[in-house]
Amino acid sequence: MKIKLDVNDKLYSLEIAPGDFLSATLRSLGLKGVKIGCSRGNCGCCAVIVDKKAVNSCQVFTAQCAGSKIYTIESLGTIDNPHPIQKRFVEAGSAQCGFCNPGTLMAAKALLDENPKPTRKDISEALDGNLCRCTGYVKRIHAIFDAAKDIREGR
Amino acid sequence: MKYFNENNPTGEIYMSEIEAFYMPETIEEVQKLLREEGHTILGGGTNLSVSMPQNVKGLISLKKLRLNTIEECENSYKIGAQVVLSDIVKHQKLQVLWDGILCKAACNAGSSLNRNLITVGGNIVKVLYWSDLPPVLLLFEGNVIDDKNEKIPFETFFEKHPVSLQFGKERFVTFIELETPRNNTQYFWESFQKTKVDFAITTVCGALSLKENRIEEIKLSVGAISLLPRRLKKAEAMLQGKMIIDTVLMNAFDEEFKNFRLKYDYRVSKEYTLEITKNLFRKNIMQIKERDHEN
């Protein structure tokens, strides 16, 4: 089937199978920041933002996303100009293997877009679906808390 | 089943059985599609992405029907079938109504990433034993509304099972309608599980009003311990009009669970499940009694 997909503010005309999942479609577009972990909606590595909500892209059929606005980690920042959340992740040492980072960062972005002044509990709850097996959970909460402050202060 | 596409070096994943995906714009179009063999309604898709039911060839998305609203009516709330659980959790008025138990139950489902996808319609039609909304809805006065605007009381809906009522085959949920609570009713909800993201081992819910230290009205329900959520009518009858005393409570729950058909759960023994369930009920009812005394 033919579909138009709006990803990172770019419109793609695609030929997909009706049973394709968004995680696979995004990776086939070269957006390899979308990591496929469990493929069952448990780990959060493939999290992207669809219509302002962070979701596991392995649980969403691509066809469902026609007419939606999708954002992946590739939209967040660049090496030269990282997003405040990315900056704070680096400073806090909140990445070891880094496999979970794209999903975690997108879940954090969705949270800060909706709630610019989250508490540490809000952050912890918003990231409860993003598993990290090496760095742990404390540093990333500090990083997002500080990033929220940076964004509020326009830094 | 999910398959890795061997022809694609990125190892992309797809559901090979699905031959068509529809996004109809009217209820009539959905009804027409649903009559065709092998078609099913897509809720949030969280269950389908793990295991697709057999013989499903076409998925029908309700996205364009705009069933994603939470509407406050005069004495009720009308919640669309496509409302996701995270929207219920964040709804400021629902956080307060029924002592917040609808939000607490919604917040217990999966992770925040899952709750952004799980829909009200999907959660109640699938009615998996760990589904979080059904035991709570059993306490409320209200109805499931189908595509022909027929209203089915929650109790009938869950007692008969949505599938035997032809939901997902010949009809589908468009809204649920919840009557706002009466002032003197107090509610509780508690779920017991090993970790935050684990499925519930047991879920207990209750609604009771007290008058002169006695139980004036009571409704109790359980989830997760049986294949379908259910009201505890024996215990309710035994507690009606009684004072809240430990022995009265335990007698009522002992009687209720004497011949209760528990679902097998590899994580816990039946004895453990029953003990936890009875004690959660007891604890929550005692807390309501204490709150009532304080007021």
- The pLDDT tens digits of the residues spanning A58-71 come to 999 999 999 999 99
Helical segments of chain B, H only: 27-34, 85-90, 101-107, 112-115, 120-126, 133-137, 154-160, 233-239, 246-256, 270-294
Return the number of other C-beta atoms located less than 10 Å from residue B272's C-beta. Answer: 13
Q: How far is CA B43 from CA B49, B62, B174, B269, in A?
A: 11, 8, 11, 33
Q: Does A1 touch chain B (CB under 8 A)?
A: yes
Please say if the pLDDT value at position B7 is more than 50.
no
* Mean pLDDT of all residues in A119-124: 96
Higher pLDDT among residues A150 and B169, named by residue: A150
Residue A81: predicted pLDDT: 94
Asked whether the predicted pLDDT for residue B10 surpasses 50, the reply is no
pLDDT of amino acid B13:
58
Cβ atoms within 10 Å of B215's Cβ, excluding its own: 20
Rounded average pLDDT over B67-79: 95
- The per-residue pLDDT for A40 is 86
Q: Determine the residue among A51, A59, A68, A111 to mutate to test chain B binding: the one whose Cβ has the most chain B Cβ atoms within 10 Å.
A: A59
- What's the CA gap between A41 and B150, in Å, rounded? 34
Contact B45 A126 (CB under 8 A): no
CA distance B2 to B180: 42
d(C-alpha A32, C-alpha A22), whole Å: 12
A4 vs B: CB within 8 A? no
Please state, rounded to an integer, the average pLDDT across all residues of chain B.
90
* pTM attached to this predicted model: 0.92
pLDDT at B196: 74
pLDDT bracket for residue A80 (50, 70, 90)? very high
Residue B276 — pLDDT band, cuts 50, 70, 90? very high
Inform me whether the C-beta atom of residue A107 falls under 8 Å from chain B C-beta atoms.
yes
Indicate if the pLDDT at residue B145 is higher than 50. yes
DSSP B243: B
Stretch (H or E) spanning B22? strand B20-22
Interval A120-141 mean pLDDT:
93
Under 8 Å CB pairs connecting chains A and B tally to 114
Number of residues assigned to chain A: 155
By CB atoms closer than 10 A (0-12, 13-18, 19+), residue A153 is exposed
Give the pLDDT of residue B16.
Answer: 67
Q: With 80 as the cut, is the pLDDT of residue B53 above it?
A: no
Closest CA to B244 of B284, B274, B190: B284
